[in-house]
Amino acid sequence: MTASAGQRLWQLASFLLFFGLWELAGRWPLSAAFPPFSTTFLAFVEMLRDGSLGKAYLITAQPLGLGILLCALAGIGFGIGMGLSRPIEWLSLPIFIILQAAPMAAIIPLLTYMYGIGLTSKVLAVIMLAAPVIVMNSYKGIRNTPPSLLQMCRSFQGTRRQEVLKIVLPHAAALIFTGLRLGLAMGFIGIVIAELLITPTGIGDLITYHSSVADYPKMFAAIASIVAVAAISLHLLERLERRLFP
Amino acid sequence: MIVEVKSVSKTYDNGVEALRDVNLAFPQGQLTTLLGPSGCGKTTLLKIIAGLIPRNAGEVRVKGKVVDGPGPERAFVFQDFALLPWADVLRNVAFGLELRGVARPEREEVARRYIAEVGLGGFEHRYPAQLSGGMRQRVGLARALTVDADIILMDEPFSSVDEQTRRKFQEDLLDLLRHHRKTVIFVTHSIEEAAYLSDQIALLSPRPGTVSRMVKPDVDRRKTADEIRRDRGYLDTVDEIWHILRRYV
């Protein structure tokens, strides 16, 4: 599956087309609040230079990292528990199915009533979005163990402990990792919603502030940067995943 | 008689009656085939003998003792190979010993020996996905041999193996099992395979499965594989089985 030179050329052309159209639309102009790509890019470089972008990401990364870490520890544990034990499955499956279907933007403001506007609320926002997919993937990874592998283990008098450690968990590892990647994708959505809806901090602050002072190039640069950061980190994780679980 | 099946019946939870009052005896050191049309419960019977699924009535005795679960004197070869996709050939073959807590150098030495015996020498560090169906099943067979069980239970081991590979594999299998003096219980739906491999053939009728006939192929095993396939006794056995089974299809 190596990308051929032709494939790379088309991918490059796709980016050029996108940024070209953006440039045109900005110069036309589509709206006074829509800057062309070049102006946005310059604003981006300036924000990099004056350190405001870096500072914003340091702040945003805290609730995002903390939330994903907690999901990785508790969520995977929970998913594995649900996959291995029927009572845990019956108890918690409905909760996660409801969480997966719930429109989170409507629920996140409720968090401020309970936990204020601090770090806790933002971490919780990330968890509420990321946890369902992490838990469900771990759970499905456990449940989808091929029955013949389990029978094979039993036919050689493997214990339940060996069955879990040597067959069920290694088999689930790939799906669990996919769950983490999808969880991070949801986490990015969660943290941006939280930083826009709860209190403007980090990248949410940059977007809100520059929008309020009508510095649209910087506002767009902030938005484009979070899109790029999310896309690149998810892409890298996907490549890592393909190397770990071919 | 190393394995005895007495009045075994099995009805699945969904109400399907798979086996009714099956009585069979398996002589030591011989290859017995369970042959019948699909859905006659032959795999169910094999898995009951293996202790992998519970029976509703009757008993299974191995070396005179009633068994209710898997045991070290029986090893199973699976239709879909049941190999660990994340483990190489060496670890897969040694896996039965790994589960028994045999130390790594020791179990890998045993595994290497059987990998060579089934003709996979040099493939120790390949992964199942890199092997053909026939080679995967050789891995499954080697794994069953490492644990040194007296009884090898094989569930349609050649059904996912292409025809050319299958013939070679059948010949190798006969040599190997005779050499190790294993008792083999073999499930198949192929009449030719049964007549070629077996010392005795148990014909099962369709649902609910019962033993309708025992056939002992009159084949001179000292002949070569090609001679056997043209042998009078072999061809008569194929004919005889077909006349019995055609009533069911």
Q: For an interface test with B, which of A155, A157, A161, A171 has the most B Cβ atoms less than 10 Å from its Cβ?
A: A155
Q: Which residues contact A235 (CB under 8 A, 6 or more apart)?
A: none
Alpha carbons A112 and A200: distance in angstroms, whole number:
13
- Chain A residues touching B82 at Cβ < 8 A: 146, 148-149, 151-152
CATH number for the domain spanning B229: value is 3.40.50.300
* Model confidence at A194: pLDDT above 60: yes
β-bridge pairing B183-188 and B151-155: parallel
Asked whether residue B143 falls in the same domain as residue B159, the answer is no
Tell me: do B155 and B228 sit in the same domain: yes
Paired with B35 in beta bridges are: B188, B203
- Of the listed ranges A6-10, A65-69, A182-186, the least confidently predicted one is A6-10
* Nearest by Cα to B40 from B207, B203, B244: B207
> How many beta-carbon contacts under 8 Å exist across A and B?
48
Residue B173 lies in a domain: yes
Looking at the DSSP assignment, which residues form a beta bridge with residue B120?
none
Residue with tokens 């300036």: A46
Could B82 and A148 be called an inter-chain contact, meaning their C-beta atoms sit closer than 8 Å? yes
Is the pLDDT at A1 greater than 60? The verdict is no
In a domain, B78, yes or no: no
SS3 string of chain B?
Answer: CCEEEEEEEEECCCCCEEEEEEEEEECCCCEEEEECCCCCCHHHHHHHHHCCCCCCEEEEEECCEECCCCCCCEEEECCCCCCCCCCCHHHHHHHHHHHCCCCHHHHHHHHHHHHHHCCCCCCCCCCHHHCCHHHHHHHHHHHHHHCCCCEEEEECCCCCCCHHHHHHHHHHHHHHHHHHCCEEEEEECCHHHHHHHCCEEEEECCCCECEEEEECCCCCCCCCHHHHHCCHHHHHHHHHHHHHHCCCC
Mean pLDDT for chain A? 90
pLDDT the model gives residue B224: 77
* Preferred mutation among A150, A152, A159, A166 to probe B, highest tally of B CBs within 10 A: A152
Mean pLDDT along residues A175-196? 92
Residues of A in contact with B74 (CB under 8 A): 155
Asked if the Cβ–Cβ distance from B98 to A166 is below 8 Å, we say yes
pLDDT cut 90: percent of chain A above it = 63
Q: Answer for the pair A162, A102: CB distance below 8 angstroms, yes or no.
A: no
Partnered with residue A104 across adjacent β-strands are none
**pLDDT score of A54:** 92
Yes or no: say if B162 and B133 are a contact pair by the CB < 8 Å rule.
yes
Same-domain status, B241 and B158 = yes
Asked if B50 lies within 8 A of A155 by C-beta distance, the reply is yes
Let me know: does B45 contact B22? Beta carbons within 8 Å.
Answer: yes
**pLDDT confidence bin for A2, thresholds 50/70/90:** low
Q: Are residues B17 and B126 in the same domain?
A: no
For residues B66 and B88, state if they share a domain: no
Domain A53-244 architecture: Orthogonal Bundle (1.10)
Going by pLDDT thresholds of 50, 70 and 90, the confidence category of residue B217 is confident
- The residue ranking higher by pLDDT, B177 or A207, is A207
Residue B144 lies in a domain: yes
B58 lies in some domain: yes
- Give me the residue from A152, A167, A170 closest to B78, CB to CB: A152
Cα–Cα separations (whole angstroms), residue A60 to A71, A126, B84, B141, B153: 17, 11, 42, 56, 60
Give the residue from A159, A154, A164 showing the smallest Cα distance to B52: A154
Residue B100 lies in domain: 83-148
Contacts 24+ apart (CB under 8 A), B128-131: B128/B81, B128/B83, B128/B84, B128/B85, B128/B89, B128/B92, B129/B85, B131/B89
Q: Report if residue B132 sits inside a domain.
A: yes
Domain check: are B123 and B30 in the same one? no
User: Structurally, how many domains does chain B consist of?
Assistant: 2
CA of B99 to nearest chain A CA: how many angstroms apart?
Answer: 5
Residue A245 has pLDDT above 60, yes or no: yes
Higher pLDDT, B89 or B223: B89
Where a domain ends, among B116, B148, B180?
Answer: B148
Mean pLDDT, residues A115-124 taken together: 88
Residues of chain B whose beta carbon is less than 8 angstroms from a beta carbon of chain A are 47, 50-52, 69-72, 74-76, 78-80, 82, 84, 86, 95-96, 98-100, 147
B138 and B173 share one domain: no
Residues of A in contact with B76 (CB under 8 A): 151-152, 155
Q: Is residue B106 part of a domain?
A: yes
Contacts of B95 in chain A (CB under 8 A): 156, 166
Q: Do B99 and A166 touch (CB under 8 A)?
A: yes
Taking residues B71-78, report their average pLDDT: 92
Per residue in A58-92, pLDDT (tens digit) is: 999 999 999 999 999 999 998 999 999 999 999 88
Length of chain A: 246
Mean pLDDT of A184-206: 90
Read off the tokens for B16.
């399907």
pTM for this structure?
0.82
Residues B30, B122, single domain; the answer is no
Type of residue numbered B67: V
Q: Which of A26-35, A182-191, B153-162 has the highest mean pLDDT?
A: A182-191
pLDDT of amino acid B180 = 84
pLDDT band of residue A111 (cuts 50, 70, 90) is confident
The arrangement of strands across the sheet holding B183-188 comes to: B74-77, B151-155, B183-188, B31-35, B200-204, B211-215
Do the beta carbons of residue B11 and residue B17 sit within 8 Å?
yes
In a domain, B7, yes or no: yes
Which tokens in the block code for residue A5? 């030179």
Report the C-alpha gap between B144 and B93 in whole angstroms: 8
- Tell me the per-residue pLDDT of A208-236, one tens digit each, with 9 for 90 and over: 999 999 899 999 999 999 999 999 999 99
Show which of B148, B177, B202 is a domain's final residue: B148
Tokens in use for B191? 């009449």
**Residue B139 pLDDT grade (very low, low, confident, very high; cuts 50, 70, 90):** very high
Cis peptide bond prior to A29, omega within 30° of 0:
yes
Query: Which of B148, B168, B203 is the endpoint of a domain?
Result: B148
B161 and B126 both lie in a single domain: no
My answer on whether B47 and B169 are in the same domain is: yes
Rg for chain B, CA atoms, rounded = 18
Position B64 in a domain: yes
- Scanning every residue of chain B, which has its alpha carbon at the shortest distance from the alpha carbon of A244? B86
Looking at the structure, tell me whether residues B66 and B189 fall in a common domain. Answer: yes
Task: Dump pLDDT digits (tens) for A167-176.
Answer: 999 999 999 9
| Same domain? B199 vs B222 | yes
- Chain A residues with beta carbon closer than 8 angstroms to that of B51: 155
Q: What per-residue confidence (pLDDT) applies to A156?
A: 94
pLDDT of residue B249: 66
Neighbours of B1 (CB within 10 A): 12
Rounded to an integer, what distance in angstroms lies between the CA atom of residue B119 and that of residue B168? Answer: 11
Q: Taking CB atoms and an 8 Å cutoff, what residues of chain B touch A155?
A: 50-52, 70, 74-76
